Amino acid sequence: MRSHVALLVLAIVATAADAQGSKRLATTELKRGLIITKSTTLTRKRYRIAAASSLDSALIVIKGDDITLDLNEAVIEGLDPAADPDRAAGVAIRVEGGRNITIQRGSIRGYRVGILARGTKNLAIQYTDLGYSWKPRLYSLVEHESLADWLSFHHNEKEEWLRFGAAIYLDGVSGGEVRINRAEQGMNGLMMVRTDHVRVVDNTFRFNSGLGIGMYRSAFNSVFQNRLDFNVRGYSQGFYRRGQDSADLLMFEQSSHNEVAYNSATHGGDGLFLWAGQTTMDSGEGGANDNLFFGNDFSFAPTNAMEATFSRNVFVGNRAEGSDYGLWGGYSYESNVVGNCFVRNRVGIAIEHGQDNLFLANRFEGDGTAIRLWGDKVEPGDWGYPKHRDTNSRNARIESNLFSRNRVGVNAANTREIALAGNSFAAVDTIAVYKDTAGVRVVGSAVLAASDPSSVDPCPAMGPLSLEYARLAPHAEGITAVVPSSADTRRDRSAIIVDEWGPYDWRSPKLWPVDSTRAIPLRLAVLGPEGRWRVVAKRGVASVSATSGAMNDTITVLPRADSLRDWQITLEFIGARVVTTRGAIVARDTPLRFSHGSFEPLNEWQVKFFMWGDSTDPRGRQREFAALLQGTPIATARAVRLDYMWSRPTIAGLPSSKWALEATSTVSLAPGTYTLRSISDDAVRVWIDGTLVIDNWSPHESAVDAAPIAAGRHHVRVQYYQVDGWTELRIDIVRGAQRASGSPGPH
């Protein structure tokens, strides 16, 4: 094995630099705390230098004007590449103000933030590889998600976004270019805060567990021809599709007048997630307005291919396929949706409380409902927006669209003034459904014969647009009207696989459950690059359906009856070149082992449920609450695992609020290192052999806590209470000494 190093284009750039001969600068050895005040070239080598955990310091600081930092293909690592990525910390490079700053040609990995620039004028970052940076462990399972993994980017007035980390973080940058960079297998690619007039061109920000690109109060930027695919979490094929606020492209809080064109942004939690911002929500003023989205592919999102809310924008010639919603445009107004292709979404376009929107020359192929418009009679009482603005659903123009193989063409409720003109319908079950809707005008609609759906791509190259919209096509040096694509971007949502470290990138072998992880026998898909596999080790396994085969096979594993909670099977892969989940490269035909198993050592739980009230409130009346737990429970249960999650109780007789439980179990652990881990909402305490080891007893949203547990036999006791709302309680024992923080969460 050898480490994954930078981009292939670095070699080309390096050759050009070498050709300059005498113009080359003397090189500088990297040391912690290096301050650069003039153009500098690093000595080309691999550096392993940890940064201080504080985001106010950095390994390298750039101060001044007209400075180029040439990393010279050096590899800068903040921690051992084999280490868990949630151990990455600190900032690798910080740019303090200045103008005409260039950073180029190197690899930076293993930091919380790769490059952080504040207040810089004309910044260029190019030909850098910033992948494999910090990201949190995820706790959602195949069978159900955990709300501990949910993100919230809604607030950033006090630099809250920094807690999420990034390959590149720009704050107050004006002018410049981010070009031909790569950031994969971290949490976030590029974050832009109060940043304007920056060109973001031909980058690869993929397979991150948060965002590809995020904008906050950023305007007049150009985002062209980037690869922004598979930035996703909160998805499990056949179980849930939530996204958890991940996105390929996020645009928040007055991010306006940006141009977004010819990007591949598929398989993101959302492809595009645009929200006006808290300022607009409170005042009704402003929005993330007047952005242009032209010729992008936002397909195969678990939630929305495009979401754009409380704002005014233009969408021309985009593709939205195989998502829950093609375009969710709640409270959008004066927006133009022109020449887009919506294919096999549950709903093509859904807009609540929209006003004065135009839907022109779009194609809807195989969507359940093509266009849905409605207004709710009661709006949230804590929103300022409807208190300051008219939010009736009204004045929609639906013109010259092609509806094909939809169950419903147009569905409108509590809406007034809808004009339909020149639309065509082919094999649409119900052309229109109206409820509490007035002022519908229909002119010149036609019913057509349906074409063979398998004969043509339902989204061919962008069709003819009127001059008014064709002239919106961005034209920039080096940009062509082509969306970058690859085989994985055309696969449906089943290509999204999210494990404890985020989205799987299909470049290394992996065993993954076809169904639930708790099925017996268990079917496992053998995923990865082209090649062959064979079974090389088994522990606690009675049988396996095959002992060798080709990648993308499915095998069936039957654990032994005495090992159902602790077993493992190991395969060996030989085949194509591999890039591991930690970024190491394994040459073609080099054997590589990979495994799958189960480890659930806790024995059966004895669980007692109780109702509490004001006199036994666990938040303040500890003595009375303890006495309650010694009394008669309202229900009891025996549970194979302590794993409860619901919005409404699934246990008969349990109220939706003010209840508690006490659960006990025993565990026997072989010699080794282990961690007991809890996930809770609202509150939890855990004792091991009578010693309190987890004490998170104040009500909180889903949170992760952990404590070490030694080898040997132990008694485990858990107390938990629920005030109201969401319920989540999970207790696990895992191998190793794991950190417990999880995702930064909605702070």
For 423-464, write each residue's pLDDT tens digit.
Answer: 999 999 999 999 999 999 999 888 877 666 655 678 876 666
- Distance separating alpha carbons of residues 300 and 366, to the nearest angstrom: 14
Residue 456 has a pLDDT of: 67
Residue 462 has a pLDDT of: 62
CB neighbour burial string for 49-79, b if at least 16 within 10 angstroms, e if fewer: bbbeeebeebbbbbebeebbbbbbbbbbbbb
Residue 24 has a pLDDT of: 56
Q: Which residue has the higher pLDDT, 6 or 370?
A: 370
pLDDT of 16 above 60: no
pLDDT classification of 746: cutoffs 50, 70, 90:
low
pLDDT classification of 9: cutoffs 50, 70, 90:
very low
**Mean pLDDT of the 547-565 span:** 96
Q: What is the DSSP letter of 604?
A: P
Residue 461 has a pLDDT of: 63
Residue 541 has a pLDDT of: 97
CB neighbour burial string for 314-342, b if at least 16 within 10 angstroms, e if fewer: bbbbbbbbbbbbbbbbebbbbbbbbbbbb
**Mean pLDDT of the 386-409 span:** 95
3-state DSSP call for residue 161?
Answer: helix
Residue 603 has a pLDDT of: 87
For 185-244, write each residue's pLDDT tens digit.
Answer: 999 999 999 999 999 999 999 999 999 999 999 999 999 999 999 999 999 999 999 999
Contact assessment for residue 187 and residue 213, using Cβ atoms and an 8 Å cutoff: no
147-151, 375-379, 714-718, 725-729: least confidently modelled range: 375-379
Beta bridge partners of 337: 315, 359
Residue 747 has a pLDDT of: 54
Region for 90 from its dihedrals, namely left if φ exceeds 0, alpha if ψ lies in -120 to 50, beta otherwise: left
Q: In what order do the strands lie in the sheet with 703-709?
A: 643-646, 727-735, 674-681, 703-709
Residue 448 has a pLDDT of: 78
**Mean pLDDT of the 625-634 span:** 96
**Mean pLDDT of the 648-671 span:** 94
Contact assessment for residue 363 and residue 458, using Cβ atoms and an 8 Å cutoff: yes
Residue 702 has a pLDDT of: 94
3-state DSSP call for residue 213?
Answer: strand
User: In the chain, pLDDT over 70 holds for what percent of residues?
Assistant: 95
Six token digits for residue 76? 């800068």
pLDDT of 511 above 80: yes
pLDDT classification of 337: cutoffs 50, 70, 90:
very high
Other beta carbons within 10 angstroms of residue 436's beta carbon come to 12
Residue 22 has a pLDDT of: 35
Residue 458 has a pLDDT of: 80
Six token digits for residue 111? 């930091």
For 41-63, write each residue's pLDDT tens digit.
Answer: 999 999 999 999 999 999 999 99
**Mean pLDDT of the 21-47 span:** 86
- Report pTM: 0.94
- Distance separating alpha carbons of residues 506 and 488, to the nearest angstrom: 9
pLDDT classification of 8: cutoffs 50, 70, 90:
very low
